[in-house]
């Protein structure tokens, strides 16, 4: 029997958190090899197991997969979260990329210089309510189904719900005008595997507050 997937990354959300969410939603238990010092990262590089000398990297099914999209697509395909045909996969990819665009802006917010933070938050809020969330609300309203594509849970739904949690952390009022998205968030959050992942003590990573950010900067010098 194959072992559990092993995730190599820092003790933070970053580019690995969407992988954690996807595995958790698929009901897959995984292990984490946390990178806690520069030496930990250098060892991985020197051992030659990082394809492009960077993380995230996931050991799964005898492979050492690099690059976030490749990792996500493999997991989604393996656990039937990637649509039934090429057209559905194209839609899933399109929605997932939109989620990633907004998600990255929110994820990078803690790295924003203090004197630029208010302006960046205002920009993110504007794009959240006027560019990104209206698209997903319109998709759900247009076909009247429970999920974004094919009325079946896919990686796009999981990525979107993860994003909605980040939006709520930024400002809960941003979801006020999107009832279908709030319903999707509730629906996915109540799936047993996701519900377990959302409980305290799970492998879900917390928001990167200022204290954690300063600690990370001391270690990784960014």
The span from the CA of 168 to the CA of 105, in Å, is 14
The Cα-based distances of 60 to 4, 55, 127, 209 in angstroms read: 7, 15, 36, 31
Residue 213: the pLDDT is: 63
pLDDT one-digit tens code per residue, 61-72: 999 999 999 999
Enumerate the domain spans of the chain.
6-79+197-220, 86-189
Q: Which of 96, 175, 172, 162 is nearest to 134 (CA)?
A: 175
Task: Enumerate residues 6+ apart whose C-beta is below 8 A from 132.
Answer: 98, 99, 101, 102
Q: For residue 100, what pLDDT is reported?
A: 96
Structure tokens at 183: 């319903």
Common-topology check for domains 6-79+197-220 and 86-189: no
Tell me, what's the pLDDT at 1?
45
pLDDT tens-digit map of 132-181: 999 999 999 999 999 999 999 999 999 999 999 999 999 999 999 999 99
- Ranges of the chain with pLDDT below 70: 1-2, 209-222
* pLDDT value at residue 36: 87
**Parallel, antiparallel or unpaired: strands 6-10 and 31-35:** parallel
Q: What is the pTM of this model?
A: 0.93
User: To the nearest whole percent, how much of the chain has pLDDT over 90?
Assistant: 82
Topology of the domain comprising 6-79+197-220: Glutaredoxin (3.40.30)
> Out of 3.30.360.10, 3.40.50.300, 1.10.645.10, 1.20.1050.10, which CATH number does the structure's domain 86-189 have?
1.20.1050.10
């Amino acid at each position: 029997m194959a072992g559990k997937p092993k995730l190599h990354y820092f003790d933070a959300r970053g580019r690995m958190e969407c992988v954690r969410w996807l595995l958790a939603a698929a009901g897959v238990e995984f292990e984490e090899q946390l990178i806690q010092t520069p030496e930990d990262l250098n060892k991985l590089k020197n051992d030659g197991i990082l394809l492009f000398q960077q993380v995230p990297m996931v050991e799964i099914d005898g492979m050492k997969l690099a690059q976030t999209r490749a990792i996500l697509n493999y997991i989604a395909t393996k656990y039937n979260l990637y649509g039934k045909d090429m057209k559905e996969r194209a839609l899933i990819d399109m929605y997932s990329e939109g989620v990633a665009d907004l998600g990255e802006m929110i994820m990078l917010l803690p790295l924003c210089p203090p004197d630029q933070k208010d302006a960046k938050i205002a920009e993110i809020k504007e794009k959240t309510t006027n560019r990104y969330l209206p698209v997903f609300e319109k998709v759900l309203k247009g076909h009247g189904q429970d999920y974004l594509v094919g009325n079946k849970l896919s990686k796009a739904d999981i990525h979107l719900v993860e994003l909605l949690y980040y939006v709520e952390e930024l400002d809960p009022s941003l979801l006020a005008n999107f009832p279908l998205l709030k319903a999707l968030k509730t629906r996915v959050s109540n799936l047993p595997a996701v519900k377990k992942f959302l409980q305290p003590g799970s492998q879900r990573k917390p928001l990167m507050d200022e204290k954690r950010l300063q600690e990370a900067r001391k270690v990784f010098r960014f």
